[in-house]
Chains A and B, each alone.
Chain A
């Protein structure tokens, strides 16, 4: 299911907790699995559950609670736009409309060419730079005016 390398990474995470609390590594394990597989399928979650000795539904709870886990395949670039209050007051809703129009997709959808997925995110703790946007869970972009959004899309094309 997962590569030796991924399993080694998960083992490192498990080692951070007392042996009877293997399941504490579930968030890290899901992140590692997602990195390798691109998204979290039912089978992947079941595998992680077995690996950590916990009920599959408990893994499912965690995977659905946090926005960074993808339970459906996503495009090459996943754009997560914060629409919480501070970002919303600073123009996140306009930014969302702009992205929808430019990409032709709504939140939770992927462009037909498999390049972009648009997601609605919650506060990322960078309200001073609102509105903010996250690319592939890793790269944060701030002050997302229409211009800067266009430039970002060009760069990612």
Chain B
């Protein structure tokens, strides 16, 4: 330990601590721009110059390690003079037009200029001009003259996002931040650059000039998308959600957000928001009162129904939906993209991550099985990326070889049907670690042999001493089990019913087998849809509130229950989902729906149980591995911006590269066998449905496999996400 005195106060800090960190620990603020505790040290803004006794000149606090007996003065005349001089230099080329800058009011440069700068500029010469850049649909780089070259955005790309998409070109006065010629910023974490930028150079494209920071009220919330449960600050003006920013929580999302969490709020004002109850009459939809619509729904549901509930619904909604599904003659599930439920009878608890999210960084050997990790759980990918940067060996077993923007030590890319058999090959790699984990991703959970994969992964974990975990498909993947799903036989039983209750589900996109689900709903005598957006399915539509308009809770993949309150009032006549489900339960004459508040529902759901004690990834027994199907196997991913009803309607996210329509990806051998060229049309047949897609080349795919994304209108007519498909080239004439 080293003793250091800062501004007359003493503190003991470990070796390697910088003056900045020591000062922060004392609660002292040293002005800075380029320093960020999550990024490497650049020391190029020079704003944090402080006086250090016996040093000949002021030193940057962020890059100066503490030595024993060091005496630091952060606000001595020398330090203040140095800081003022740096501020004057920074402002030489910075436009002094804060009133027209989007960052005005939440700008570090503005704040520090008030605190450390002169009241007027001495500089009368011309300022440099830097041209605007087009960095894509999310990050605006319209006013690059405002850039002070702190390089936080560049370091973020390299160190956190794992892809260096921005760089600083040129030198001295000509230095500027650019993407490589003709490229945009495409990382799924790119929005964080907006938060990191201390000035108005990088701003949010969707939010630009829509509100001033001081006009916004701030509400805490939880992201309803992936299984991380990122903590949010929802910023509101005139009862409208204007912007979403991260709420710092070291244990969950640190200070980061995935773009999906940050920009999905745009969908709240989508033109097809459902704001009044609708009933079908003579084939057409008609607006109805809540009384009428609820009475129609209850009447139609009488006699048993299947409940299909979204894993993005709140814990309270899921609890009441599960209570409905548990009624006699009913059934229900929330794992709508699953195909294999053989594990339900064998598992010993609720599947979860297997360790706290924050501990992912400390792992030294990781095997990730069947995961589109970077797109499905961007912030878990970031944690593993940090582990890899510290020297952890990441191994991958999957059916596609996407770039995870992190060093991967070993990988095996095999057909979906060969995943389970390939698992044992990683025994040696895992055994070498002291803190190893096997993580099963969405692809493994949605696999038709999910239980066999689970059992094989457990056997490998037992043999190597590794921990076993599931990355988790959605915000409430753990919460759904806690709420009481699966009920009365789960998804297969629910789909066999002749009436349906859909909770926030869009069957063409959210189901493991859209074809089968659509057929079941088509045959049904009655369907009621509780949703945020209009649909053309069913007989009654009841508008329910999205996460910003209702109170509730999500239980994330590490078993952390996080509750939130409404940020704004529900749009139109929309009501919180739990209230609608409560009414339905009461109207159906079922017991156990008398709740006065969302907290009461939550208490009833938890029933005093300790969530942590219910979590277990053990599976008893090993279901046999089925033989590989003959034919071309489909590999279906759920692209990040098609995964749930909100992101599908977020206009800015839909303009990104990740939101491109699906193509039929295959390797050159399959292309040759089919006789198609890249870009040519192929007809994909699966079950009774088909899709016309452009063929695309991915040399890293296994033989006799075709990658066709699910959850998109062009592929919604196809059958299960796994299984075999028939491919045939389409003559050019037929396409036109």
Contacts and interface: CB of A to CB of B under 8 A. Distances in A.
A61 B169 contact: yes
B163 interface: yes
A45 B163 CA distance: 17
Interface stretch (B176-184, B237-245, B582-590): B176-184
Interface stretch (A51-59, A89-97, A98-106): A51-59
B169 A42 contact: no
A42 B167 CA distance: 15
A136 B289 CA distance: 82
A56 B170 contact: no
Nearest to A66: B171
A114 B242 CA distance: 56
B166 interface: yes
B181 A60 contact: yes
B180 A65 contact: no
B168 interface: yes
A61 B178 CA distance: 9
Contacts of A60: 167, 169, 178, 180-181
B165 interface: yes
B181 A42 contact: yes
Contacts of A57: 164-167, 178-180, 183
B393 to A, nearest CB: 15
A65 B167 contact: no
Contacts of B164: 55, 57-58
B129 to A, nearest CB: 17
Nearest to B167: A57
Contacts of B182: 42
Contacts of B180: 42, 45-46, 55-57, 60
A64 B181 contact: no
A68 B421 CA distance: 56
Interface in A41-77: 42, 45-46, 55-58, 60-61, 64-65
B165 A61 contact: no
Nearest to B171: A65
Contacts of B181: 42, 60
Nearest to A43: B181
Contact of B170 (A42, A45, A58, A65): A65
A93 B180 CA distance: 35
Interface string B249-284: 000000000000000000000000000000000000
Contacts of B178: 57, 60
Contacts of B165: 55, 57
Contacts of A45: 180
A64 B168 CA distance: 9
Max chain A C-beta neighbours (<10 A), residue from B163, B166, B181, B183: B181
Contact of A64 (B158, B166, B169, B179): B169
A106 B194 CA distance: 39
B388 to A, nearest CB: 14
B181 to A, nearest CB: 4
A20 to B, nearest CB: 10
A119 to B, nearest CB: 14
A55 B163 contact: yes
Interface in A15-58: 42, 45-46, 55-58
Interface in B500-535: none
A65 B175 CA distance: 9
A4 to B, nearest CB: 24
Nearest to A67: B171
A86 to B, nearest CB: 18
B487 to A, nearest CB: 50
A52 B163 CA distance: 15
A122 to B, nearest CB: 9
Interface in B148-203: 158, 163-171, 178-183
B665 to A, nearest CB: 21
Nearest to A61: B167
Contacts of A65: 169-171
Nearest to A63: B169
A58 B180 CA distance: 9
Nearest to A56: B180
B171 A64 contact: yes
Contacts of A42: 180-182
A57 B167 CA distance: 6
Contacts of B167: 55, 57-58, 60-61
A64 B171 CA distance: 8
A142 to B, nearest CB: 25
Max chain B C-beta neighbours (<10 A), residue from A46, A57, A64: A57
Contacts of A46: 180
A57 to B, nearest CB: 4
A40 to B, nearest CB: 11
A93 to B, nearest CB: 19
Contacts of A61: 167-169
Contacts of A58: 164, 167
Nearest to A122: B171
Contacts of A56: 180, 183
A10 B11 CA distance: 52
A120 B179 CA distance: 26
7 contacts: A42-B180, A56-B180, A56-B183, A57-B167, A61-B168, A65-B169, A65-B170
Interface of A: 42, 45-46, 55-58, 60-61, 64-65
Given A55-B163, A57-B165, A57-B183, 10 more contacts: A55-B158, A55-B165, A57-B164, A57-B179, A58-B167, A60-B178, A61-B168, A61-B169, A64-B170, A65-B169
Interface of B: 158, 163-171, 178-183
